[in-house]
Amino acid sequence: MRFDVMTLFPEMIESACSFSILKRAAENGIVNVNTINPRDFTLDKHKKVDDTPYGGGAGMVLMAQPYVDAYESIERCENSITVMLSPQGRPLDDKLVNELAGYEQIVMMCGHYEGFDERIREIIKPLEISIGDFVLTGGELPALCVIDAVSRKIEGTLGKIESADEDSFSNGLIEYPHYTKPREYRGLKVPEVLLNGNHKEIAKFRLEQSIERTRQKRPDLYEKYINS
């Protein structure tokens, strides 16, 4: 899987991808994260990437030329998708993450200031994705969410131990409670069922816990689960 991230702040992407599981995945050649800075494609001596909005109003708008030229410089393979991270996009969820994991290359466009000149969308026609109903100063953190969530779906990124199929959301439910040593901490005991080695009972306990927690904390997901 190759991620090509168009950003004015490449260090944000590079530094976040240099830790833990993402770092290991990059070292093993399972994922490849590359950045492209539209500022490198400006044509004026001030390297200007934004300008004031036609029609007036606050803030600055990202200019079409540096973004479109930067985009066209990226070598795109057959099985590639282009994504724009924006508050008006399709909400990111486990289903969309799985869809994205089916591509060989994901090109991502990170916006700043007031956003993009609309002609960037008209020319590139990206899939717009949002990580939630809130506004951020830039698309880099959402792009990192996509990189992280998609990478962990790829064979070889996670070890057996961290396997993704047992996660929250792979079955549409939230996680059951986890415990590790010691058996008792500040008078709080680990549930007996987890200590007796009966794997069938343990699986039953965990599923019941997942269902009950989902009912309490995420009634929207619970309804979907019950009706599926």
Cα–Cα distance for residue pair 47/50, rounded to 1 Å = 9
Residue among 44, 54, 78, 137 that touches ligand 4H6 (CB under 6 A): 137
- Residue 152 is among the residues annotated as catalytic for this protein: yes
Counting residues that bind ligand 4H6 (by CB under 6 A) gives 18
Q: How far is the CB of 120 from ligand 4H6 (least distance, A)?
A: 10
Taking CB under 6 A as the criterion, the residue among 96, 115, 144, 151 binding ligand 4H6 is: 115
Among 10, 38, 66, 111, binds ligand 4H6 (CB under 6 A): 111
Phi and psi, residue 45, nearest 5°: -75, -15
Dist. CA 23–CA 147, nearest whole Å:
12
Q: Determine which residue in the list 7, 35, 86, 151 makes contact with ligand 4H6, applying CB under 6 A.
A: 86
10 lines the binding site for ligand 4H6 (CB under 6 A): no
Distance CA(108)–CA(154), nearest Å, equals: 18
130: its two tokens = 């949002």
82 in contact with ligand 4H6 (CB under 6 A): no
Query: Which of 131, 146, 147, 173 is in the footprint of ligand 4H6 by CB under 6 A?
Result: 131
Choose one: 33-41, 46-54, 137-145, 146-154; the region binding ligand 4H6 (CB under 6 A).
Answer: 137-145
Reduced 3-state DSSP string for 116-158: ECHHHHHHHCCEEEECCCCCCCCCHHHHHHHHHHHHCCCCCCC
Sign of the C-alpha dihedral computed for residues 130, 131, 137 and 140 taken in this order: negative
Q: For ligand 4H6, give the closer residue by CB, 59 or 177.
A: 59
> Which token pair is 15?
């530094």
Give yes or no for residue 126 binding ligand 4H6 (CB under 6 A). no
Which residue is it, tokens 């079409």? 64
Any idea which residues carry the catalytic annotation? Answer: 87, 114, 152, 167
- Can you give the binding site for ligand 4H6, defined by CB under 6 A? 85-87, 111-112, 114-116, 130-132, 134-139, 142
